[in-house]
Amino acid sequence: MGRSPRMLQNYVPILIFLGVATGIGLVLLALGFLFGSGQKDAEKLSPYECGFEPFEDSRMKFDVRYYLVAILFIIFDLEIAFLFPWAVSLDSIGGFGLIAMAIFLTLLVVGFIYEWKKGALEWD
């Protein structure tokens, strides 16, 4: 047991805070639905499209580049997740840790240059 209950206790306020934040959001929305009254009709409830009748469902096809950005994000975010523990323990891993991370970063930079040259980062 030793340390773990003490450590977990530090996280209790976070749980409470998440609850309080949810509560504030819910109360605000509830107040809005309580006080905000009005007549609803079909025109008011239709999606806004500059006064036109909406032509089609708006969940339409979108550019594949958005998808590409999402995939690249996952790769780089994982890279950052790897860098975090390394950065925190920098003073105890010395030159070996530095070189190991240099090799890892070099591999990723090569990949980054490749996708740059391939035009994955172009928006025109």
Partner 1 sequence: MAEFLQSLMAYWESFPADLRFVVIATMQILAVTICVILTVAFTTYFERKVIGSMQGRIGPNRVGPLGLLQPFADVIKLLIKEVVIPQKSNRFLFVIAPLLSIIPALATWAVIPLSDGFVIADINAGLLYVLALTSVGVYGVILAGWATNSKYAFLGAMRSAAQIVAYEIAMGFALVGVLMAAGSLNLGDITRAQAGGLSHWFILPLLPLFFVYFISGVAETNRAPFDVAEGESEIVAGFHVEYSGVAFAVFFLAEYANMVLISALTAIFFLGGWASPFEGWSFLGDDSLLRATSFFWLAAKISFFIFVFFWLRATFPRYRYDQIMRLGWKVFIPITIVWIAVEGVMAWLHVGPWARLAS
9 binds partner 1 (CB under 8 A): yes
3 state SS for the chain? CCCHHHHHHHHHHHHHHHHHHHHHHHHHHHHHHHHCCCCCCHHHHCCCCCCCCCCCCCCCCCCHHHHHHHHHHHHHHHHHHHHHHHHHCHHHHHHHHHHHHHHHHHHHHHHHHHHHHHCCCCCC
Distance CA 80, CA 58 (A): 35
Among 4, 6, 48, 51, binds partner 1 (CB under 8 A): 48
Among 1, 10, 103, 119, binds partner 1 (CB under 8 A): 10
114 binds partner 1 (CB under 8 A): no
Shortest Å, Cβ 2 to partner 1 = 15
94 binds partner 1 (CB under 8 A): yes
Shortest Å, Cβ 13 to partner 1 = 4
53 Cβ neighbours under 8 A, 6+ residues apart: 46
5 binds partner 1 (CB under 8 A): no
28 binds partner 1 (CB under 8 A): yes
Shortest Å, Cβ 1 to partner 1 = 16
Among 14, 64, 103, 110, binds partner 1 (CB under 8 A): 14
Return the residue matching tokens 């594949």.
64
Residue 13, burial from CB neighbour count under 10 angstroms (0-12, 13-18, 19+): exposed
| Binding stretches for partner 1 (CB under 8 A) | 7, 9-14, 16-18, 20-22, 24-26, 28-29, 31-33, 35-38, 40, 42, 44-49, 54, 57-60, 62-63, 65-66, 69-70, 72-73, 76-77, 80, 83-84, 87-88, 90-91, 94-95, 98, 101-102, 105, 109, 112, 116, 121-124
